[in-house]
Amino acid sequence: MYEIDSKCISCGKCETTCPVDAITMVEPASAGDPEPKIDMNACTYCGACAKNCPVDAITIEKSTPSNTWPEDEIAEIAEKAETGSVRVRGTSARRELPDFDDLTVRNAQVSRPPIDHYREPCETKVNLGSRHAEKPLELEIPIYIGAMSFGALSKSAKEALARGAKEAGSAVDTGEGGMLPEEREISDKLVVQYASGRFGVSAEYLQSADAIELKIGQGAKAGQGGMLMGDKVSQEISEVRGTPENTDLISPARHMDIVGPEDLKMKIRQLREIVDWEVPIIVKFAAGRVEEDVKIAAKAGADAVLVDGMQGGTGAAPNPTLENAGIPTLAATSAAHAALVDIGLREEVDLIISGGITSGSDIAKALALGADAVSISTAALVALGCQVCGLCNTGRCPYGITTHIPELEENLDVQKRGHSVENLLDVFTEEAAMLAMLAGKTSLFSLERQDLRALTKEASEMAGVPLAGSSE
Amino acid sequence: MCGIVGIIPNESKKVGGELIEMLNSLQHRGTDSAGVAVYREEFDREDTYRLVAEVTDKPGSFGGLGNAIGEAGGDIRNISFRPSPHGEKGLNICTLRVPGEKELNQVIKKINSSEVANVYSYGKSVQVIKDLGLVDDLEEGYEISSMTGTHAIGHVRFSTESGVDRKHAHPFHTEDLPDMSVVHNGQITNHYKVRGELERKGFAFSSGNDSEVIVYFIADQLRQGKSLQDSLKASVEHLDGPFSYLVATSDGVGVARDKLGLRPMAWVEGEGGKYVASEEVALLDTCRSSEIEYFKPGEVRVFEHAKN
Amino acid sequence: MQKTNRESLDVKKLGSRGANDRLKSPELTAETVELTNPGSSHFLAAGLRKELDLTIKGSTGYYLGTCMDGPNITVEGNAGWYPGDNLTSGSIRIEGSAGDGAGQGLYGGKVVVTGNCGSRTGQLMKNGTVIVGGDSGFMTGLYAFGGRIIVLGDAGEKAGESVLGGTIYVQGAVASLGQGATIKETGTEELEQLNNLVREQKLEPADSFKKIIPADR
């Protein structure tokens, strides 16, 4: 297929360039100057005619694309050869991956009665981390907004998320950039993250938390640390993080003092001593070796584990890591639940999952597979106006979400977007409740694995759920 | 849909007859199986217990039951064998002597694990008799109306989600606590989850029936030192789904109804005692009072039997 | 409440959690506290936010004074790994040796080890000062974002490995430089400032220091 635009200047360069003599300049049917005609039988789609046209008048499309060398892969390889660097971008994996959409919920009829969503109640409250904490994290809904740092996000974005979470009876998470004072002021429940870079960490930071999230990794960049380039470290960011201005801020790929299981046990105990055993310690993993990691965290004394699947998002990560590291959230959820059952700590340790949750139906299915709560991040950014385009790492987000340029940040209306975030949390909860109730439950937490069926063989094996049509 | 009944008479009497009458009036609610748990008068001797078991096909089983009890440290005093009117295995209604409850539990676990027999009830007073088919078949095969006792519960079954055989019929009894049985109308919609929690605490289930979860849940609560009343309250909070059930112990009968009131339960104080049932029709037939009361959604109550 | 100026806590009796509870309690009004029988316990003075002078009569375990803000601690013995981890303000003086990661993640204040230190002294530190009277081991100043480390003895292999913003001053030999680090000379005024800090800790001032900084500074 090809097209010649009217801007063609009839220079004939394409005719001379074509290596297989497939192009001839011919008089057009109507009056006018000569135009190139391409013999599609001879054409090999090398694209040289289009590349050499001085006015970009030729568009030409491959009719026999290669699955080994598709157009987008060719373009990526060309980019690597040109730039000499690994592509870094924001958001998450773009490839197709098995997820909760591949499961369906078995509805009640007469073998058990459906509960009517329009007038009958459904329990949504959850308490997390009561294993050792004197004050578990009490949430009105089993959803909280995940770790996104001030630095990755703008101040306005952090404020809007805190507002929305508070109104919905949920919690927000500081992320690894330290505590923005406004975030603690506005939010009701605040989870503070303790990550490998130790930015903004102090006794005050930890003691003002409602829960502590010990970050070992995140799903988007499974097994890797991160970097905030020096020229993006503004004065305010460096103040909150406690670092000198304009220094590259590296988060190492691991905590320098957590190299093995016994180190994790000491670290959890250290954090407990700093906060006088009051609040829950949640250990966050990038889902990869889920069974081993979850068992270690449970035995090391964690009150909860947060398992982040490969569909999780980020402000900046290398493309190969986003697309090829970690395992899907669907598989991670079942594996984490099974690991806790296997070591006899399922009732003691709470399971939170995250990574590409896009609806309340995902949440209902995650709870059925064993999660006690979920965390959402990218979806919350969409409520702020995010289009999931991936340019977060450039710092030029036109919606004011992942930028610190004042003119761009002004585009984020904190009041309005705070309300949008509240709406999102409310609707996700309602969707999850609908699925629970149509399955015959009066509580989100009565959902069980046996309420699900899989629609594909992959999802069935990954989630440990029979295919639709089988009995249990 | 199933039907359940309970009788707590003012004094120990021929409770079996009224039980059969009440069950017959609820026969329309289910015809898959019928069963009763009758709490007989306790023996004078401290060390004498009752046991009901079904002998399996394993070679040498019949003599085996007596032997198994002997080998496990018990001393069998009496075995009365009743063949099943429905082609199921017959039931052995036994009396045995063991030094105490600990030894009794050991005997039960040993018998169940030996696969010589399945124990359906054991304790100072309870006898569980259950079989496939109708109430009339149960009466014909086992002469329930001749049984005397301090209290009793009964059930007719319309199977919903699990198998139809004696093992899946109600009443359910635990392998861990003597004299505790349950009859249930409805579904426990989070029973896999609750079963998982209880299995991890060490309880062993014998069927795939969701109703079995109730008796082990209550057993676990009682083990933690809670009263039957508080255990029933906890069950109404923790178990989800439409349900009404009766939990009987050697002291009496506990009643619980789900929070949305989706399964029925009514009772009346008649001249002879207290009568509980899924439907009013069972109460009108047997008592002479028309002051029937209905349990409220989420209500729990314990009726203790008169101690003579 | 009777205002007492000194208090003594027996860590063997109270356990480290009990000792910490007492240290943090509003009922403790003493300005000087002594911890006896520390028995190399971990997490002593964790998260303690008080102006307080604390003397530890013996050796401590891991994470001494982690996330502390305000107290001045003297250890009459050795400290295990990570003493002064994430210190916000205050000081820790160890009159013996310390394990790995002394002054890890330091935000302010001082960590002083009169003896030798293990590996990765001052790793991830953001600000504040670490002074080592003896030698410092492998990868001194790893990932240091800011602040300074003063080593009066020798520094082990890969000194200044991936240093991002901090400065490491070594009087003795530097076994090798880490990646991204370079050595410069210390000027006379700077030397005098550093020696003031050294003298304050009753240590011998230095004749000169090799100054290790990020290669791209």
Q: Is B167 within 8 Å of B207 (Cβ atoms)? A: yes
Residues of A in contact with C16 (CB under 8 A): 273
Q: What is the pLDDT of residue B31?
A: 85
The partner residue sitting opposite C120, judged by closest CB among A249, A256, A276, is A256
Residue B222 CA to residue B230 CA, distance in Å, equals 9
Which strand (E) or helix (H) includes residue B137?
helix B135-142
| B147 CB-contact burial (10 Å; exposed 0-12 / middle 13-18 / buried 19+) | buried
Q: What is the pLDDT of residue C113?
A: 97
Which residues on neighbouring strands pair with residue B123, listed in sequence order? Answer: B50
| Alpha-carbon distance A276 to nearest alpha carbon in chain C (angstroms) | 8
* Among C103, C79, C107, CA closest to C151: C103
Residue A410 has pLDDT above 80, yes or no: yes
A386 versus B68: the higher-pLDDT residue is A386
The type of residue at C59 is S
Cβ partners under 8 Å of residue B204, min gap 6: B175
Rounded to 5 degrees, φ, ψ at A250 are -95, 135
Report yes or no: C88 and C109 within 8 Å, Cβ to Cβ.
yes
* Binary contact (C42, A274; C-beta < 8 A): no
- pLDDT the model gives residue A370: 97
* Helices and strands (H, E) in chain B, number of each type: 8, 16
Q: Is C68 on the interface with A (CB under 8 A)?
A: yes
Q: How many CB pairs under 8 A join A and C?
A: 94
Relative to beta strand B33-39, strand B151-157 is antiparallel
Rounded mean pLDDT, A154-181:
96
End-to-end CA distance of chain B: 36
> What is the average pLDDT across A100-119?
94
Residues of A in contact with B259 (CB under 8 A): 442
Q: What is the mean pLDDT of residues A183-194?
A: 97
State phi, psi for A416 to the nearest 5 degrees: -65, -45
Dihedral angle of Cα A41, A42, A48, A52, to the nearest 10 degrees: -90
Contact residues on chain B for A441, CB-CB shorter than 8 A:
189-190, 240-241
Q: Tell me whether residues A256 and C124 touch, CB distance under 8 A.
A: yes
- % of chain C surpassing 90 pLDDT: 94
Contacts of B200 by beta carbon, 8 Å cutoff, 6+ apart? A341, A344, A346, A347
DSSP letter string, C126-182: -SSEEEESS-B-TTTTTT--SSEEEESS-B-SSBTTT-SS-EEEESS-B--BPTTEE
> End-to-end CA distance of chain C, in Å?
56
Output the six-digit token pair for A287: 């889902």
CA distance C180 to chain A (A): 13
Of C21, C101, C145, the CB nearest to A257: C101
Q: Quote the CA–CA distance of B54 and B28 in Å, as a whole number.
A: 27
Backbone angles phi, psi at A150, to 5 degrees: -70, 115
The one-character DSSP state at B134 is -
* Nearest Cα to Cα of residue A243 among A146, A147, A148, A151: A151
Q: Is it the case that residue C2 has pLDDT exceeding 70?
A: no
Q: State how far residue A247 is from chain C, nearest Cα, in angstroms.
A: 7
Question: Which residue in A162, A163, A158 sits closest to A236, CA to CA?
Answer: A158
CB contact under 8 A, C124 and A275: no
Please name the chains neighbouring B, where neighbouring means 3+ C-beta pairs under 8 angstroms. A
- Range of weakest confidence among A49-53, B121-125, B283-287, C50-54: B283-287
The tokens describing A176, both together, are: 């690894």
Q: Which ipTM value was assigned to this complex?
A: 0.90
* pLDDT above 90 (res A62): no
Structural contact between residues B8 and B151, judged by C-beta atoms closer than 8 angstroms:
yes
> Which of B189, B193, B210 should one mutate to test binding to chain A, selecting the residue with the greatest count of A CBs within 10 A?
B189
Show residues of chain B in contact with A442, CB under 8 Å.
240, 259-260
Q: Give the lowest-confidence range in A168-182, B8-22, C31-45.
A: B8-22
Q: Do C86 and A270 touch (CB under 8 A)?
A: no
Contacts of C123 in chain A (CB under 8 A): 256
- pLDDT averaged over every residue in chain C: 94
Shortest Cα–Cα distance, C43 to chain A (Å): 6
* Region of poorest pLDDT, from A271-275, A277-281, B288-292, C15-19: B288-292
Out of B2, B7, B34, B38, the active site residue is: B2
Tell me which residue in A206, A252, A276 faces C143 most closely, judged by beta carbons.
Answer: A252
* 8 Å CB contact of A449 and B192: yes
- A-B Cβ pairs (cutoff 8 Å, strict): 47
Whether the ω angle into residue A320 lies within 30 degrees of 0, i.e. cis, is no
Rounded to 5 degrees, what angle do the CA atoms B226, B228, B234 make? 70
- Please state whether beta strands C69-75 and C53-57 pair in parallel, antiparallel, or not at all (unpaired): parallel
Sequence-separated contacts (24+) of A73-79 with Cβ below 8 Å? none
Among A198, A244, A277, the residue with its CB nearest the CB of C146 is A244
**pLDDT tens digits along B244-270:** 999 999 999 999 999 888 888 899 988
pLDDT at C54 over 60: yes
**How far is C-alpha A247 from the chain's CA centre?**
27
DSSP-assigned letter for residue B194: H
CB-CB contact of B124 with B47 (8 Å): no
Residue of chain C whose alpha carbon sits nearest to that of A208:
C47
**B94 in catalytic set:** no
Q: How far is CA B76 from CA A44, A110, A122, B25, B51, in A?
A: 94, 46, 52, 37, 10
Report CB contact under 8 Å: B189, A441: yes
Read off the pLDDT of each residue in A298-322 and give the average, rounded to a whole number. 95
Contact status of C140 with chain A (Cβ, < 8 Å): no
**Full 3-state SS string of chain A:** CEEECCCCCCCCHHHHHCCCCCEEEECCCCCCCCEEEECCCCCCCCCHHHHHCCCCCEEECCCCCCCCCCHHHHHHHHHHHHHCCCCEEEECCCCCCCCHHHEEECCCCCCCCCCCCCCCCCECCEEECCCCCCCCEEECCCEEECECCECCECHHHHHHHHHHHHHCCCEEECHHHCCCHHHHHHCCEEEEEECCCCCCCCHHHHHCCCEEEEECCCHHHCCCCEEECHHHCCHHHHHHHCCCCCCCEEECCCCCCCCCHHHHHHHHHHHHHHCCCCCCEEEEEECCCHHHHHHHHHHCCCCEEEEECCCCCEEEEEHHHHHHCCCCHHHHHHHHHHHHHHCCCCCCCEEEEECCCCCHHHHHHHHHCCCCEEEECHHHHHHCCCCCCCCHHHCCCCCCCCCCCHHHHCCCCHHHHHHHHHHHHHHHHHHHHHHHHHCCCCEHHHCCHHHEEECCHHHHHHHCCCECCCCC
* Strands of A281-286's sheet in order across: A143-145, A373-376, A350-354, A304-308, A281-286, A211-215, A189-194, A171-173
User: Looking at per-residue confidence, does A336 or A237 come out higher?
Assistant: A336
C41 interfacial to chain A (CB closer than 8 Å):
no
Q: Which residues pair with A122 in a beta bridge?
A: none
How confident is residue C98, by pLDDT bands cut at 50, 70 and 90? Answer: very high
- Amino acid at the residue B72: A
Query: Is the model's pLDDT at A352 over the cut of 70?
Result: yes
* Nearest CB to B200 within list A113, A120, A347: A347
Query: Do C and B make contact, counting contact as 3+ CB pairs within 8 angstroms?
Result: no
Residues whose CB falls within 8 Å of the CB of residue C202, separated by 6 or more in sequence, listed in order: none
Which residues of chain B fall short of a pLDDT of 70? 1, 58-62, 64, 160-162, 285-290, 308
- Mean pLDDT within C118-122: 94
In A, what residues contact B, Cβ < 8 A? 108, 111-113, 115, 120, 341, 344, 346-347, 439-443, 445-450
Instruction: Name the band, by pLDDT with cuts 50, 70 and 90, for residue A71.
Output: confident
Residue B37 to residue C183: CA distance in whole angstroms: 89
Residue A242 in this model has a pLDDT that exceeds 70 = yes
Nearest-CA neighbor of B142 among B90, B209, B71? Answer: B90
Q: Are C151 and C172 in contact (CB under 8 A)?
A: yes
Query: Both ends of chain A: CA-CA distance in Å?
Result: 53
Residues C11, C14, C15, CA angle at the centre, nearest 5°?
A: 70
Residue contact A256–C123, C-beta within 8 A: yes
**Do strands C167-170 and C210-214 pair parallel, antiparallel, or not at all (unpaired)?**
antiparallel
Which residue in chain A has the smallest CA separation from B1?
A: A111
Mean pLDDT score, A200-216? 96
Nearest CA in chain A to C17: A273
Chain C segment 146-205 residues within 8 A of A by beta carbon are 146, 162, 164-165
* A247: exposed, middle or buried (Cβ count in 10 Å: 0-12, 13-18, 19+): buried
Per-residue model confidence (pLDDT) at position B77? 87
> How far is CA A136 from each of CA A10, A140, A195, rounded to the nearest angstrom?
75, 13, 21
Q: Which two tokens stand for residue A84?
A: 């000499």
pLDDT computed for residue B64 by the predictor = 67
Whole-number Å distance between alpha carbons of C57 and C38: 7
pLDDT at B44: 85
What is the mean pLDDT of the segment spanning A333-358?
A: 97
Q: How confident is the model at residue B12, as a pLDDT?
A: 77
* Partner-chain contact A274 C17, CB within 8 Å: no
Nearest to A112 among B196, B241, B260 (CB): B241
Q: Do C107 and A202 touch (CB under 8 A)?
A: yes
Using an 8 Å CB-CB cutoff, list chain B residues near A439: 189
